[in-house]
Each structure stands twice: as C-alpha cells, then as structure tokens.
Structure 1
Amino acid sequence: MQKSISYIFHPIFMPLIGVLFYFSKSPRFIPLALIQTKLVPIVILTLILPLLVNVLLKSIGKIESLELKTTEERIIPLLIYSIIILIVVKRVLTPYEFIELYYFYVGVLVSTLASILLNVLKFKVSIHMLAISGILTFFIALSVHFSINILGSIALVIFIMGAIATSRLSLNAHSNIEILMGCLIGITPQLMLISRWL
C-alpha cells in the first residue's frame, strides 16, 4: 500500500497535473486546439522522456534503481529533468499565453535546481513532497487568482500530501527533516513567483 502511494503520486506526474487542473478550472475561454498543442509536448517532455531517460540510465549502470535512493544517483536525472523543464518554459509555455502556467513551471525548475544543489551537498530531500507541495501552492494561488471555490480540490491535495509523507516515512525512504525540506523547497519558489501573475 505504501509503495503504491509513492508510485501513484510520483513527482513525475505533478507538473502535468498542474496543467490539466489549470485548463479544467480556468474561467477563460481556451480553444481545444490550443490546449492540445500544449498538452501533447508537455506529456512527451515531462512524462515520457524522463521515464525513458531513467530507464536508459539504469540500463547503462548510472543509477541502481528507478527510485533514486542515493544523493549521487539523483544528480544526473534531476539535471536532465531541469533541462527538460527549461525547454518547456522556453518553447511550450510562454508568459504571453498562459502566464500562470509559465511561472508554475519556472517554480518547478527552481525547486528542481535547489534539490540538485542539496544532493551535491549530500543532503537528500523528498522530491515527492517537493512536487505535491508545489501543486498545493499553485492550486491555492489559482483559487485566489480566478476567485473560484476549489476547497474540495485543495483539501484532497492536503490529504494526499499526508498520505505521501506517511508513505515515505513508513518505507524509510526519508527522515522527517528530508520531508520538511522537500515541502519547503516545493512551496518557496511558487510563493516567490506568485506576485508575477497573481
């Protein structure tokens, strides 16, 4: 059960969830064709490509498992993921079309870079908590920005956060401080960037 929670709410899904939630809740009219032109490259770049990269890294012995248990194993995949997110920011999501999503992804990039820095310093943070806390912050900001009531969605994300934290601790994947640092690194960049679009 604990492992299932870690897989179902894997960090790799979170940026895509943010995009899907945005398109489903935005009161603005957005043509379906435009949504599709954004979703397709985002799915390929942030979901399929990282999975393929991690499988490749495992096959050539750069990582021992897809769970990336050590700080050393995490550095290369996170660097590659940072480049992927940078491509999304530069080529897929522009601030002129979807300023909210643009800065959400900039926040994801900053959080990922902060995680890389800490891994270089031999400190492992919970990327699961980093991802879900960033999503929570984005959802709350969207509710304020669009003046919409999404308390149910926010409550659900908080519940999921608790389930993920419990799962990671039960599996001995992280310590309490690593869980808390993951939350801090996920939330802080989003909060710092909210003023750009809220």
Structure 2
Amino acid sequence: MKDFILKGISFIFHPLIMPLLGVLFYFSKTPRFIPEPIKNAKVFSIIILTIVLPILLFFLLKTINKVDSIYLKSTKERLIPLFINCVITVLILIRVLTSNEIIELYFFFLGILCSTLTCFILAIFKIKASIHMIAASGFFMFAVALGIHYQKNINGTIALMMIILGAIATSRLHLKAHTNQELILGLFTGIFPQLILLNYWL
C-alpha cells in the first residue's frame, strides 16, 4: 500500500503538470482583468505544448529506444527530452506568453527555461538533479512571489506546497530514484532562477 501511494505521488505530481499549475494559479489570483477567451486560449496552448506534445514525443523516443521510462532515470536518456523541453519553452515565450502581454507568466516560464537548461548541462556532465523537485520548487517560488506581488494571503497554498514538496522528496527517495544530494540540487535548481528573475517583475 505504501509503495502504491508513493508511486502515485510521483505520478500525480509529475514535472509535466507544474507549468500548467503555475498558469492556473496565476489566473486564479491575479486582480487584472483578462477576458475569458484569452485565459482559455492560454491554458489550452499550455496543455498542448507542455503536456500533450511531450507525452507524444516521449512515446516516439521510447519507440526508437532513446528512453526507457517517463521518469528518465539515467543522465543519458535525459538529454534529448530536456533539450526538446527547452525548445518548447522557448516557443511558449515567443508565441504564447510574451513579455508585453502577461509579464508574470513570461518570467515564470523564463525561470522554467533556466532551470531546464541547468538540468540539461548537469546531465551532460552526468550529474542528476531531481526533475520532480525542480518543477515543484519552481512553482512553489512563483506562488510565493505572486502572493507577495498581489498582497494576498496564500498561507494555505504555501503550507500545502511544502507538504507536497516533502511528499515528492519522500517518494523519490523511497523509490530509490534519487539521493538526498540530487533532491537538494533539484530544489535549488528550481528555486534560484525564479528567485533571481523576481527583480524583473515583482
């Protein structure tokens, strides 16, 4: 039962869903008026580009034996998916969430790009960082920044995210997917780009 729950945590809080959660959280908290058709178009685009497209590309890579599982256990099999994710994120920054439209989400995805590039460079040098922790901690930092920016009480969200971060770390350790050092490296790789980029929009 414990194995099932911990595997479920890794699956439910997979890195692919974190960008979408960031977008949905932003739209739920921003006091700015954004027409519903624009919101829906942005959310739909993010779902297609950050979830559907990567999943389809994963199955393609699996078919040609470039990856073994969706968790990308070795540094070698991380390289192509991480590079593709960088390209997709650049596309989002250019076509979907431009800096002159929704600046908060633009810098959120710019932070995602920086974290992904860092993870890609680490993988080149055969250093693993937990992608689960990178994605979750990046969203966590963005959520905290939005709370400060809009002066909203998001203590419940912060507490929930800290529990989720702990659950993800526990899950990855229990499944022997990462060491403590890889989890910590992932945590800082996710947080620091978002933290540094706050200077440009907060």
TM over 0.5: same fold? Answer: yes
Report what 1:57 is aligned to. 61
- Of residues 127, 133, 136, the one that matches 2:137 is 133
The one-character-per-residue Cα deviations of 1:142-190 (angstroms, maximum 9, x if unpaired) are: 0010011111011101110000000000111000000000001000100
Runs (4 or more) in structure 1 with deviation over 4 Å come to: none
| SS of residue paired to 1:195 | helix
- Structure 2 unaligned regions, length at least 5: none
* Equivalent-residue separation in structure 1 for 2:69 and 2:19 (angstroms): 22
Percent identity of the aligned residues? 53
* Equivalent-residue separation in structure 1 for 2:124 and 2:150 (angstroms): 39
* Structure 1 residue 67, shift from structure 2 partner: 1.8
* Equivalent-residue separation in structure 2 for 1:177 and 1:85 (angstroms): 27
* Equivalent-residue separation in structure 2 for 1:97 and 1:146 (angstroms): 18
- More displaced 10-residue stretch of structure 1: 64-73 or 109-118: 64-73
| SS of residue paired to 2:104 | helix
Report what 1:93 is aligned to. 97
* Structure 1 residue 194, shift from structure 2 partner: 0.4
| SS of residue paired to 1:104 | helix
Q: Matches of residues 18-57 of structure 1 in structure 2 within 5 Å?
A: 18-57=22-61
Give the partner amino acid of 1:108.
Answer: I
Give the partner amino acid of 1:119.
Answer: A
* Equivalent-residue separation in structure 1 for 2:163 and 2:144 (angstroms): 14
- Structure 1 unaligned regions, length at least 5: none
The one-character-per-residue Cα deviations of 1:44-98 (angstroms, maximum 9, x if unpaired) are: 0011000100111001111122221100000000100110011001110011111
Report what 2:127 is aligned to. 123
- Of residues 86, 90, 115, the one that matches 1:111 is 115
Preserved contact between residue 82 and residue 113 of structure 1 (Cα < 8 Å): yes
Across the aligned residues of Structure 1 and Structure 2, the Cα RMSD in angstroms comes to 0.6
Give the partner amino acid of 2:129.
Answer: V
Q: Matches of residues 169-180 of structure 1 in structure 2 within 5 Å?
A: 169-180=173-184
The one-character-per-residue Cα deviations of 1:98-132 (angstroms, maximum 9, x if unpaired) are: 10000000000000000000000001110000011
Give the partner amino acid of 1:177.
Answer: Q
Report what 2:160 is aligned to. 156
Give me the TM-score of the superposition, normalised by structure 1.
0.99
* Equivalent-residue separation in structure 2 for 1:141 and 1:105 (angstroms): 14
Give me the TM-score of the superposition, normalised by structure 2.
0.97
* Equivalent-residue separation in structure 1 for 2:69 and 2:167 (angstroms): 23
Preserved contact between residue 58 and residue 66 of structure 1 (Cα < 8 Å): no
